[in-house]
Amino acid sequence: MVEIDEDLCKGCEICSDFCPKGVLGLSDVINKKGYYLPKTVKKNKCTGCRLCELMCPELAILISKK
């Protein structure tokens, strides 16, 4: 499961652009700083590769097993 830290995200879209399985997309939720947050669009496709978790410039993504 992909958990996004809403207070940290800056809406750079690296995670949604690079997920090999297209798990993440952009939501229409804006956080306190005015950035659009990513959201899970293909929940069951996540393989736990943790690429998004490692690429995120804000350490705003945590992959957990669910």
Using the minimum distance from each CB to other proteins, give the nearer residue, 43 or 59: 59
What is the three-class DSSP state of 63?
A: strand
| Of 30, 57, 51, the residue nearest 2 (C-alpha) | 51
The mark string for 41-60 relative to other proteins (x by CB under 8 A, - otherwise) is ----------x-xxxxxxxx
Using the minimum distance from each CB to other proteins, give the nearer residue, 41 or 53: 53
- Cβ of residue 42: shortest distance to other proteins, in angstroms? 18
Q: What is the spatial distance between Cα 56 and Cα 20, in angstroms, rounded to a whole number?
A: 15
Structure tokens given for 24: 């993440």
**Residues of this chain that bind other proteins (CB under 8 A):** 3, 5, 7-8, 10-14, 17-18, 33, 35, 51, 53-62
